[in-house]
Structure 1
Amino acid sequence: MPLPDPFLHALQSIFGDDVHTGMAERLAYAYDNSRLNAQPDAVVFPTEHTQVEALVCACRQYRIPLVARGRGSNTTGATVPVEGGVVASFERMNRILRIDPANRLAVVEPGVINGDLQRALAPHGLFWPPDPSSSPWCSIGGNLACNAAGPRAVKYGTPRENTLGLRAVAGTGEGFRCGTFTSKGATGYDLTRLLIGSEGTLALVTEATLKLTPRPSAIRTLRATYRDVGTAAQAVARIMGQPVTPCALEFIDETALKLAHAHAGNDVPLAGALLMIEVDGEPDTLDAAVHAVSAAARGEGLESLHVATTTEEAQKLWAARKALSPAQRTIAPDKINEDVVVPVSRLPELVLGIRQLAAEHDVLVVTFGHAGNGNLHVNLLPRDAAERERAQACLAAVFARVIELGGTLSGEHGIGRAKREFMPLALQPATLHLMREVKRAFDPDGILNPGKLLP
C-alpha cells in the first residue's frame, strides 16, 4: 500500500527534497547482512535530533512503521523493513561531537563508523573497547543497537559497560536523555543499558556518550594448537580461571581450520582446534602475564604454543581467523551465522555437543569465536535445498542445547527477525510479558521496528 499523501507531505516538510521513494533507493535499503529482504516505502537521512523527533511524530500520527538503520552489517534481519514504511538511515549523522581525554569520554552521533572513532581517539592514547570484526564499516549506532562487542569484550566489556549516556527519541516522538557524564551514577532506572541491545524497538538513538579506556602500551599474541576441540575448550576454561585476563581469546575448530587452510595456505595450521590469545598491558608486566596465560594454556592435548615476537609475526598468526569468512563464503553463500553464549565452564560441553548435532543432521558446521566470553559463532554451511532444510532443524537443536547449558541465544548479533521465534525457549512467559510492557511504554503504537526481537 503506498504511503498516504499527507504523510509524504509531512516527510517533505521535515527533509525537503531528500525523501526517497524511487525503486533504486528502496532496493538499496531493503536488506542487511542477513538473507532477508523487504522494501521500505521511503528512505530518509536524518542529520539532526529535531528531525528525528518530527519524523517519529509523523510516523506515529499516520501509523507508519519506522526502522532505524546504521550501515546494514547486522546478520539477523534487524534492519530489514519487513512491514514496509520508512527506513531512517543515520549514515549522515556521523559527527564526533566531543573528545574529552580528562574525563575519558567521547560524545558521538550514531552514524560514526567504529573504525573512524578509534583512529580519532588514538592520538589521545584512548580507545572505545567494542571492536566487532565489522569495525571498518559498522556504525556506533549499530553497535549499540545489538550490543555488538568483538573479541576485546573478554577483558573490557560490551557497549553496555562502555556507554555512559544516550540521547534518543521514543516511539511517542518525545526526545529524552538518559545516563550521565560521570563514571558512577545511581539515579533512577538505567535506561541507557535498557536501550542498548533493544535493536531500535524502543527508541532511536541520536547521540551517545561513550566511556573511553587508555590504550595499553604493549600487546603480545600467542597461538596454541590442540589435539581436539575438547582439550582446546578445557584450555579456555583454565585460561579464564587464572588471574590474568587476556584481551582476546579466540577459538577455531578443526573444520574451520581446514577451510581456512585451503583458502590461505600454510599460514594456517592444521590441528584439532586452535586458540588465538592476546595479552596487553605495560611492558614491565607483560612477560609475567604471558607466562601465566601460557601456563594455563598448557595441558592435555596441547600440540604447539607459539608467542609472536614482532608485529608482522602476530599478523601472520592471525591469518587463520582472518581467512575464515571468505573461506566459508566460497563453500556456502547461504551460510547461517549464529552467535550463542554459554558459561565458560560449559564451553567444552557446547563444542562437543555441536559436533554431535552436526553429525546427527548431516550438516557442515564451523565453530569459532570469542571463547573467553563463552560466545561462539556457530556457522552452518548448507550447500543445497536439502541441506538448508536439515540446517534449520540442526540450528533449533543447537539453540536447545545452549539453553540446557545455561546459555543464551545471542552475545552480540542480536535477535532481529531470525531468532525471535526462539525467544520463548530462552525467556519465561512472565519475562516476555514485562518486555512487551516496556515496549508499550516506549512505543505505544508499535511503530518502531515492528516484527523484530519480541515473538
Structure 2
Amino acid sequence: MAQPQARAAARAPELFPVDDGYTGNLRDESRTTGFAVTISFPTSEDDVRAVLAQLREQGCTAVTVQGARTGLAAGAVPFGGSVMDLSRMKRVTGLRQEGERFFVTVQPGVVLQDLRNALRQKRFATTGWSDESLAALAAFREAGPWFFPTDPTETSATIGGMVACNASGARSFRYGPVRPHVQALRVVLADGETLALSRGDVAAEGRVLTLVTEQGTTRTVPVPTYTMPHAKNASGYHAAPDMDAVDLFVGSDGTLGVVTEVELELLPSPAVTWGVNCFFGTEAEALAFVEDVRPSVPEAVAVEYFDADALDVLRAQRATGGAFATLPVIPEDWRFCVYVELAGPGEEAVADALGRVADAMVAAGSTPARTWVGRTDVDRECQRLFRHAVPESVNMLVDERRRTDRAITKLGSDMSVPNGRLLDVMGLYRRTLAEEGLQSAVWGHIGDNHLHVNVLPRTIEDYRRGKALFERWAEEVSAMGGAVSAEHGVGKLKRAFLIPMYGQEGVASMAATKRALDPDGLLGRGNLFDEALLGSEEV
C-alpha cells in the first residue's frame, strides 16, 4: 500500500514561478484577478500526489486547483500559494457497460466539447485502456447514439470544473445538474492519500461519513448540519442524512480534495430535438406561459427566459453588424422571449408537444405567430447563437462602459427559488431594481425558477448599489427557501451569501467537514467560507 506514495515521491513535476507567462492563471471569467508564487501542470494522479508532497515539504499553505477557468465565482482564482492546473490531464481513460447502460471515465481536464465530439463520433484514443473498456467500446459503437446531458453555457469548461461547482445549464430542467450523473470519483486528499469512491458503495450513517483511503487511513467526516433547499442548488457542500459519499465531493469547490478521475453515466440521445422561441408582449404573459408549460409539456428539456432589456441590448448589438447580424430580426413588439427545447422518440411526439406549447401561448395572451421554430440542425444552431448572443451582447456593453471607469463591471446573480415562488422572486427583482434606479437585463433557466439578473452599472455608484442589492436578495431568496447559487458554485465571491442561507452554525459545520479531510486548509483556501473558521472547533 505504500508503493503509490513512493512513486509519487520519486518524480515530481516542475514547479514554475508565476511570471508574465502565467498571468492568465491568476483570473477566471468572474474578472477577478489574484496572485500566486508557483504553478504546476500535472498529467496524472501520481503527478498530483508528487506536487502536493513537494509543496508540503516547502511549507506551502495554499493550493488552488484550476481547469479551464470558465467559472464565475472566482473559485479557481488564487490568493497566494501555488496553482495546480489540471488542463493537461485530458484523457478519456475508459468505457464501462452495465446491462444496457454505458459509463465513460475521464480525467478532470477533459473539455466538455471534446467529450461531446468523442461520444458523437464514437472515437477515442484508447492507449492504455483495459480489455473491459475495449469490449465496452465495441458494444458502444454498435449501440445507438449516447450523450452526456449536462450543458453549461461554456462548452470549453472542463469536467473537473463542472464537478467542482455541480454545474448544470439549460437542460437541467429535464436532466438535473452534473451530480446525479457522476457514478464514481478518484480523489487525492491534501496529505496525498487517495480515495476511490463509487456511488452506492459508501453512505453516511446519519450525519457521519466514514471514509477509508487506499492507504488504509480511516477518516471520520461530519456531514454539515443544515437542510438543503428544495430548489436548484450549488451552494456549498451537499448535506443530507445517509447521503452517498460521492455527493459530498461534487460541488465542493475544490476544497476537500483534488479530483483526478470521474466516471459519468451516459444517456441515450433523443431521436428528435426541436427548439421554439416564443415571444410575448408583457412579462406577465411570459410568466403565465412558463407556469402552464412546465406541467403540461413533459417533452420539454429546457425552458429559458430573456426579458425585454436583454432583447433590447441584443437588438442594439445586432445593428452594429458582426456575427450577430446573421440573427433574425426581432420585431419591436416581441418584448419577452421563452425558449423551449423539445425532445422525443419521433417527430409525431415532438409535433404534438409543439402543439401544446402553442396552446399555452394562446392561453397566456400571445399567439403561435410570434414564434421561431427550429427543426433542423442549422435552425437550432441559429437558436443556440441567439441564446449565447444575449449574454455576450451585455458583456460587450459593460466592457464599453469600463473604458471610462475600470472599476465598473457587470453584476450577475445566480439565485433560485422553489416551485410556487417564481412570481414572488420576479416581483422582488423588479421592485427593488426600480427603487434603486438600476439598469438590468434578465435571462436564464426559468424552468428551474433560476434567473440570472444582471445589473449593468453606468457609474461606480451604480455598482455599489447593485452589490448591496444582491446582499438583500440573498436574504430574501433564502427566506423563500431558495438557493444563493444555483449553478455557478460559491467560490470566493459568494461565500458571504451562505450565512443568510445556512446560518452561522451551518457555515461553521461546513468548516468542520473540511477540517476532517484537510485540517491545514491547504486546498481551495478562501472558497466557501473564511479560512479563519478552520481554526474553530465550534459547529
TM-score, length-scaled by structure 2: 0.77
SS at match of 1:424: helix
The equivalent of 1:66 in structure 2 is 63
Q: Residue type of the partner of 1:103?
A: R
TM-superposed CA distance for 1:172, in Å, is 2.6
Question: Could you tell me whether the CA contact under 8 Å between 1:60 and 1:447 is conserved in 2?
Answer: no
User: Does the 8 Å CA contact 1:364/1:382 hold for their aligned counterparts?
Assistant: yes
CA distance in 1, matches of 2:115, 2:379: 27
Match of 2:20 among 21, 24, 28: 24
Amino acid in structure 2 at the alignment position of 1:253? D
- From 118, 137, 162, give the equivalent of 1:143: 162
Give the AA of the match of 1:413. Answer: H
Q: Which moved more, 1:197-206 or 1:319-328?
A: 319-328
Of 396, 399, 402, the residue aligned with 2:471 is 396
Matched, 1:50 2:70: no
Task: From 95, 104, 107, give the equivalent of 2:105.
Answer: 107
295-304 or 209-218, larger mean C-alpha shift: 295-304
Deviations 1:120-145 (A, max 9, x none): 1113511111111101x110011111
Aligned equivalent of 1:428, options 478, 497, 503: 503
CA 1:21 to 1:282, structure 2 compared with 1: closer, same or farther past 3 Å? same
Aligned pair 1:375/2:450, yes or no?
Answer: yes
Alpha-carbon contact 2:18-2:36 (below 8 Å) kept: no
Counterparts of 2:512 and 2:335, CA distance in 1: 47
Shift of 1:344: 3.5
Bigger radius of gyration among the two: 2
Indicate which of 12, 36, 41 corresponds to 1:40.
36
Report what 1:248 is aligned to: 302
What displacement does 1:243 show? Answer: 5.4
CA distance in 1, matches of 2:381, 2:105: 32
Match in the other structure for 1:160: 179
Q: Distance in 1 between matches of 2:459 and 2:439?
A: 12
Specify the SS of the correspondent of 2:296.
coil
Q: What SS does the corresponding residue of 2:65 show, helix, strand or coil?
A: strand
Alpha-carbon spacing, 1:269–1:129, altered in 2? closer, same or farther (3 Å): farther
Q: Given the superposition, is the C-alpha separation of residues 170 and 444 from structure 1 closer, same or farther in structure 2, using an over 3 Å criterion?
A: same
Tell me, in whole angstroms, the C-alpha distance in 1 between the residues paired with 2:506 and 2:474.
Answer: 19
Matches within 5 A, 1:48-447: 48-61=44-57, 62-82=59-79, 84-100=80-96, 103-124=101-122, 125-135=145-155, 137-180=156-199, 185=200, 187-189=202-204, 190-242=244-296, 244-265=298-319, 266-270=328-332, 271-283=334-346, 284-303=348-367, 304-333=370-399, 334-447=409-522
TM-score norm. by structure 1 comes to 0.91
**Residue deviations 1:414-447, cap 9 Å, x none?**
1111111111111133322321111111111101
Question: Residue by residue, what CA displacement relative to the aligned partner does 1:226-260 show, whole Å, maximum 9, x if unpaired?
Answer: 22223212221221122514111110111001111
Q: Distance between the aligned counterparts of 2:18 and 2:188, measured in 1?
A: 27
Q: 1:5 corresponds to which residue? A: none
Instruction: Provide the rounded CA distance (Å) in 2 between the counterparts of 1:164 and 1:44.
Output: 28
Shift of 1:63: 4.3
The match for 2:535 is none
Q: 1:298 to 1:437 in 2, by over 3 A?
A: farther
Deviation at 1:409, TM superposition (A): 0.7
Structure 2 alignment gaps of length 5 or more: 1-7, 123-144, 205-243, 320-327, 400-408, 531-539
Q: Percent identity?
A: 28
Contact 2:297 2:357 (C-alpha < 8 Å) held by counterparts: no
Distance apart, 1:312 and its partner CA: 3.1
8 Å contact from structure 1 (residues 261, 269) kept in 2? no
Residues in 2 aligned to 1:58 and 1:446: alpha-carbon distance in whole angstroms: 16
Aligned residues: 438
Deviation string 1:39-98 (CA, Å, 9 cap, x unpaired) is 11001001111121232234345242001000111111111112x111000010000111
The one-letter code of the counterpart of 2:487 is: E
What do you get for the CA RMSD once the two structures are aligned?
2.1
Distance 2:396 2:428 in 1: 26
For residue 309 of structure 1, report the CA deviation from its aligned partner. 3.9
Q: Pick which of 393-402 and 124-133 moved more.
A: 393-402
Q: Offset at 1:338?
A: 2.3
Give the secondary structure class of the aligned counterpart of 1:237: helix
SS in 1 for 2:508: helix
Q: Measure how far apart 1:348 and its partner are.
A: 2.1
Pair 1:287–1:361, CA change in 2 (3 A): same
The farther-off stretch of 239-248 and 216-225 is 239-248
Instruction: Supply the AA of the counterpart residue of 2:110.
Output: V
Task: Tell me, yes or no, if the aligned pair for 1:172 and 1:444 is still in contact at 8 Å.
Answer: no
